[in-house]
Amino acid sequence: MSLSVTTLPGGMPAEEFLRDYWQKKPLLIRQAFAGFDNPLTADELAGLSLEEEVESRIVLEHGATPWELRRGPFSEEDYRHLPERDWTLLVQAVDQFVPEVADLLRAFRFLPSWRVDDVMISYAAPGGSVGPHFDNYDVFLLQTQGHRRWRIGQQCDADSPLLEHPDLRILSQFEQQDEWVLAPGDMLYLPPGLAHYGIAEDECMTWSVGFRAPSQAEVLTHFTDFLSQYLSDQQRYTDAGLALPADPAQVDDQTVERLQRMILELVQDREALGTWFGRFMTEPRFPELLQAQEPDAQLLAEALDNDYGLVRNPSARLAWRQEQDRYLMLFASGEHCLLPTPLLPLVQLICNQDYLGAEQLQAWRADPEAMQLLEQLLAKGDLLLEEDNG
């Protein structure tokens, strides 16, 4: 049974998109979300930016400096002093604070859920923009209010020239290739590295669904840090059978080959690599929103007896991996546990559903390992009792 969505919003087969567009070229989908009912007003978005735990920014094209960046949290007074045009508010990870925004992510289940980063929402006054730039990750840009003109430019990389700016990566050269104006319900997909320049035609709001894409430096650094936790200090470089060196000061090719074999042996451990990657890709953006508590089997049993279900914490990230036929690994907000393979249907429910009803869980209540797993996820804060979620 496939748990994936097989078509994109707008109707394109997911297999066609993945074959022809994903990480290759842009795609404009007119009325991908026809009749989209925006659950968030501009005032409500601005209200989020007043909160300490919410990451927000304002970019003014003509501020105290060109492309001035201001960081939140903001105050109502800050908004009263903004100009009538040419500024943009950006609020990160709105899906973790507004359930109706998180609902949008169900439409993107033609991609691995562990790749999703967040839904950033921007509000722009007329003329508002963050300048021509490129991202190192895939992004879907959904227009939910007003109109934004998107100019599409060249493919960029680390050597692409940028303006001298302390905070923003704005391209100093933009070579326009195409141009579209998006209306509410329209969506634009952009692959990594493609220059783009969005300018608000009127008061507008855009939802950006971004995807996690760790850099090679991150993969190498974090994986080796993970491996080092399990390596004994007794495991060291060895050179048995050493030949008499022509020059004792030389680091010769044979030495480098020994080092290379030692490193390759470590990184070729697929189980360790899979374990690290699952943990790394499920690390929460806001770990402070996951409130740990003591496991309470009685509390869980009473909730299920009273037909209360379990709700996924919006800040939790979950994924799983089958390690051959031996066992499962469940990754939950940067940690993992080993589980017996028969728990796979429950693990899939936990990872793919935002809500687990009491009826869905009824069949698992006689399984001690299943109940222990649910208790642990409740204790970690990855799952919440429905009655506690209001």
Q: Would you say residue 4 lies in a domain? A: no
DSSP letters, 131-195, are: -SB--SS-EEEEEEES-EEEEEEEE--TTS-B---SS---BS-----EEEEE-TT-EEEE-TTEE
**What pLDDT is recorded for position 69?**
97
Tokens (6 digits) for 45: 């978005």
Same domain, 261 and 375: no
pLDDT tens per residue, range 217-270: 999 999 999 999 988 888 898 999 899 999 999 999 999 999 999 999 988 999
**What pLDDT is recorded for position 390?**
45
Same domain, 203 and 226: no
CA 206 from centroid of its chain's CA atoms: 17
Q: Would you say residue 275 lies in a domain? A: no
CATH of the domain at 356: 3.40.366.30
Same domain, 70 and 134: yes
**What pLDDT is recorded for position 2?**
65
Total domains in the chain come to 3
Whole-angstrom distance, CA of residue 290 vs CA of residue 312: 11
Which residue segment(s) compose the domain that 371 sits in? 287-389
How many other CB atoms are found less than 10 A from the CB of residue 283? 14
pLDDT tens per residue, range 343-352: 999 999 999 9
Q: How many CA atoms lie within 13 A of 306 on its CB side?
A: 11
C-beta separation of 91 from 49 below 8 A: yes
C-beta separation of 356 from 300 below 8 A: no
CATH of the domain at 125: 2.60.120.650
**What pLDDT is recorded for position 296?**
85
Q: Would you say residue 241 lies in a domain? A: no
pLDDT tens per residue, range 94-153: 999 999 999 999 999 999 999 999 999 999 999 999 999 999 999 999 999 999 999 999
Confidence grade of residue 215 (pLDDT, cut at 50, 70, 90): very high
